[in-house]
Amino acid sequence: MKDISKAQEDIIRSFGGNKLKDHNYFPAFFNELFVFLSNKPKDEPIDPELFDIWENNKEYSGSAESPRGIRYSPEAINQIDNYFKRSDYLDINPKIKIDGRTNIVFLLGAGASAPSNIPTVNLLLPELLKRAKKIGREDLDRLAKFCEERELKNIEDLLTAAYISNFAVKNRNVNSLLKYFLMNDDKIQQKFFRSLESDASSISFLQDTLQTLFGLLASTMISAKPNQTHEEIVKFAKTHQKCSIITTNYDGCMDEAILRAGMRLKNYINEDNYFINVDDLDKLKEQQPVNLIKMHGSINWAYCDSCQGVKEFDLLFLKESYEENKLSYPVMGLCKICGGLSRPLLVPPLSFKILMFPKLIDLWNSAKEEIEKADYLIVIGYSFAEADTYITKIVARSMSVNKNQRMIVVNTDPNLVAILKDRFEAQINGFDSKRIIRLCESSDTAMVKLLRNMSASKESTEK
């Protein structure tokens, strides 16, 4: 990554300060800025201070007494705005100051787990099908063929198909279901409903294959290890109590990093912590539990289809026994309450998921509350996918209700922030696009810088 150029430093130094002394300085500033931005190499970062000076002074461009009769066309103003908005490396050194009362919420998506070698949703299905072909199991071959015929390209589409089929079997009142889907504008749901409607045999097939699919899924995730992103978040959470972690990932990387650091997790699933060693209990009770909310379920949560019971298994115990080949995977087994079959609770991004997992309503409500009270929402490797309407809506509402909330987006896709800014500008009256800060780097390197900066700013305010 290149450093901030001397040209920028010069402009900032000569025009520095939040506000130019008066509009007489504006033409020179405008010209220098315009020339600099038009010639700037694309990968050169922009100093956020330069952006601040522009934002604080651009009103002068509308000044009627513009000296020497210089006119600033709306096109030129827009062009400068766009240079800033689209710049890949804007906000690379965000000046973020926090203190002990600052509420921080981390929102993790697939990109946060990618360095742990978990294939992204798009890669997971081809990976599973490749394995299926290798072992030559008949049920897996059928699954591969099923996906091929329906052009199912990623695991979430397949999960969606599987859940819809399951839902259709359980809810015989298909008319109301049909209405529900037709009223809903979710394209994926409509697509699958139509494909399943015409193919009754695929429903029973998917039922049979669900267990196999979940087993395969769990096996790709159970041995994944926490990466730098998870470790940095844990280090931060250790010293900053007012923080929550919300994730859409099914894997156990975040959980493992927290547990291995000797902290405990706030319990959303089990009534009791029966799996904790009694000797450790008193010690553990003293600490504040870490608030980790797994919106889409977890490989160590067992869900029973018959009684809808949910049970959490000790993640570290599961991982260890899996690695040592000691145990079969107990998440997939018999339900202790009703004797039905249980499987890992993994929720595809569907807008009707609340209907399907009533036990998760409290968990989703907690996520909503945490997001709404955040001063900083740090979004890591999460892409605000269209199918994930629930989270996208909570975040938009939160940014609208909590006017001081700022969002830091850590994502390698440089366009994501521009899209979010456009979206919020359209949805929220007078939205200040500076509330979204972009860190366009891979999460493991970006998080080290960001969280260490934040911790340092906290120490300096506490002195």
| Least distance to Zn ion, CB of residue 334, Å | 9
**DSSP codes joined into one string, 405-463:** -EEEEE-S-THHHHHHHHHHHHHSTT--GGGEEEE-S-HHHHHHHHHHHHHHHHHHHH-
User: CB of residue 239 vs Zn ion: minimum separation in angstroms?
Assistant: 41
Check residue 309 for interaction with Zn ion (CB under 5 A).
yes
* Of the residues 31, 63, 306, 460, which one makes contact with Zn ion according to CB under 5 A: 306
Q: Is 290 helix (H, G, I), strand (E, B) or coil?
A: strand
By DSSP bridging, strand 297-304 and strand 310-312 are: antiparallel
Q: Quick one: 94 or 330, whose CB is closer to Zn ion?
A: 330
**DSSP secondary structure, 294-332, as one string:** ETTEEEEEEEETTT--EEE--HHHHHHHHHTT-S--TTS
Instruction: For residue 96, give every residue at least 6 positions away whose Cβ sits within 8 Å of its Cβ, in sequence order, or none.
Output: 376, 408, 437, 450, 453, 454, 457
CB of 309 to Zn ion, least distance (A): 5
Query: Which range, of 16-24, 97-105, 126-134, 328-336, touches Zn ion by CB under 5 A?
Result: 328-336
Is residue 298 a contact partner of residue 252, using CB atoms and an 8 Å limit?
yes
For residues 53 to 72, the per-residue mask of contacts with Zn ion, x marking binding by CB under 5 A and - elsewhere, is --------------------
Q: Which two tokens stand for residue 167?
A: 């839902």
Name the segment binding Zn ion (CB under 5 A); options: 234-242, 339-347, 407-415, 420-428.
339-347
250 close to 216: Cβ distance less than 8 angstroms? no
359 is a site residue for Zn ion (CB under 5 A)? no
How many of the other CB atoms lie within 10 Å of CB of 420? 22
Among 17, 62, 100, 340, which residue sits at the site for Zn ion (rule: CB under 5 A)? 340
Rounded to a whole number of angstroms, the minimum distance from the CB of residue 112 to Zn ion is 32
Minimum CB distance to Zn ion, residue 304 (Å): 3
How near is the Cβ of 308 to Zn ion at its closest, in Å?
7
Nearer to Zn ion among residue 17 and residue 340 (C-beta) = 340
If one asks whether residue 446 binds Zn ion (CB under 5 A), the answer comes out as no
Q: Which is nearer to Zn ion, 310 or 378 (CB)?
A: 310
Q: How far is the CB of 252 from Zn ion (least distance, A)?
A: 23
What is the total count of residues that contact Zn ion (CB under 5 A)? 8
Taking the complex as a whole, the smallest distance from the CB of residue 307 to Zn ion amounts, in Å, to: 3
Residue with Cβ nearer Zn ion (253 or 304): 304
- When binding is defined by CB under 5 A, the residue of 76, 169, 276, 307 that contacts Zn ion is 307
Instruction: Identify which range of 107-115, 200-208, 262-270, 331-339 contacts Zn ion by CB under 5 A.
Output: 331-339
Asked if residue 326 lies in contact with residue 352, where contact means CB atoms within 8 angstroms, the answer is no
In sequence order, the β-bridge partners of residue 291 are 244
Q: Which of 253, 335, 363, 409 binds Zn ion (CB under 5 A)?
A: 335
Cβ neighbour number for residue 398 with a 10 Å cutoff = 20
Quick check: 338 binds Zn ion (CB under 5 A)? yes
Alpha carbon separation from 258 to 240, 296, 317 (Å, rounded): 14, 19, 14
Closer residue to Zn ion in complex, CB, 46/269: 269
Determine the Cα–Cα distance for residues 169 and 377; give it in Å rounded to an integer.
39
Residue 358 is a binding residue for Zn ion (CB under 5 A): no
- Residues between 265 and 304 with contacts to Zn ion, criterion CB under 5 A: 304
Residue 251 contacts residue 221 (beta carbons within 8 Å)? yes
Give the C-alpha distances (Å, rounded to integers) separating 63 from 68, 69, 71.
12, 10, 9
Q: Which residue in the set 174, 281, 337, 354 belongs to the binding site for Zn ion (CB under 5 A)?
A: 337
**Residue 60: helix, strand or coil by DSSP?**
helix
CB nearer to Zn ion: pick between 304 and 450: 304
Closest CB to Zn ion among residues 305, 369: 305
Binding site for Zn ion (CB under 5 A): 304, 306-307, 309, 335, 337-338, 340
